[in-house]
């Protein structure tokens, strides 16, 4: 049986020492610790994939916390089942003693590990929903205060109002209006629509 440790940090600026010290303290040999400096959104990480190729039946994989394995808990569950069921590997999560497959080879132990993973998956998904909701509420509140999002619109040409009124009064075509303003026809119509909405009756009446 071989023992391996896995460390993941999200960027080159993050320090992995805390995870490494914990793994060494758990008896994982330094030369058997694999490190990825990469997002946990999926499992397409070079050192993780290299480690998985080395793992054999009855080997032990040790991580400090479950989120070091990844951030997507649906994929974590799939990966957990692949490692434990198909490869026959044991997994130990130092920050969560219930997630130690060596302690529960029977049906109850497997059931407990699955329940813990399901709860973590629910909590993670719920937090993602809450974050999206808070973002949407924040954007709506900012828009209500007049904050604009996206790229700043280029200033209208100085002759835009004059050209707009000629076009609105059907004295020139849209193509002519766009040419006079130095715009594509689609851009002119788009900016004309915004101009009319922002200026209301003044734009309509000239």
Hey, which residues are catalytic here? 10
Query: CA torsion, points 131, 135, 136, 138, in degrees to nearest 10?
Result: 140
SS3 content of the chain, % helix, strand, coil (to 5): 55, 10, 35
Q: Which of 50, 10, 52, 1 has the alpha carbon at shortest distance from 28?
A: 1
Helix (H) or strand (E) holding 4: strand 3-9
Return the bridge partners of 4, or none.
Answer: 61
| 51/20 Cα distance (integer angstroms) | 16
The overall longest dimension of the chain from CA atoms, in Å, is: 86
The answer to whether the beta carbons of residues 36 and 48 sit under 8 Å apart is: yes
For residue 11, the 8-state DSSP code is: S
Q: How crowded is the C-beta side of 100, counted as CA atoms within 13 Å?
A: 11
């Amino acid at each position: 049986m071989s023992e391996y440790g896995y460390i993941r940090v999200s960027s080159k600026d993050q320090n992995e020492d805390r995870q490494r010290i914990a793994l060494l303290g758990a008896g994982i040999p330094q030369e058997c610790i694999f490190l990825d400096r990469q997002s946990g959104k999926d499992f397409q990480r070079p050192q993780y994939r290299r480690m998985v190729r080395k793992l054999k039946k009855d080997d032990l994989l040790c991580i400090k916390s479950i989120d070091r394995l990844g951030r997507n808990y649906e994929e974590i569950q799939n990966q957990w089942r692949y490692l434990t069921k198909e490869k026959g590997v044991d997994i130990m999560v130092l920050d969560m003693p219930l997630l130690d497959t060596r302690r529960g080879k029977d049906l109850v132990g497997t059931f407990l590990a699955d329940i813990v993973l399901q709860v973590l998956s629910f909590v993670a998904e719920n937090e993602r929903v809450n974050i999206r909701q808070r973002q949407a509420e924040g954007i709506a509140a900012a828009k209500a205060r007049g904050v604009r999002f996206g790229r700043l619109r280029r200033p209208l040409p100085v002759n835009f109002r004059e050209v707009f009124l000629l076009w609105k009064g059907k004295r020139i075509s849209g193509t002519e209006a766009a040419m006079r303003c130095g715009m594509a026809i689609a851009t002119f119509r788009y900016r004309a629509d915004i101009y009319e909405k922002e200026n209301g009756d003044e734009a309509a009446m000239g």
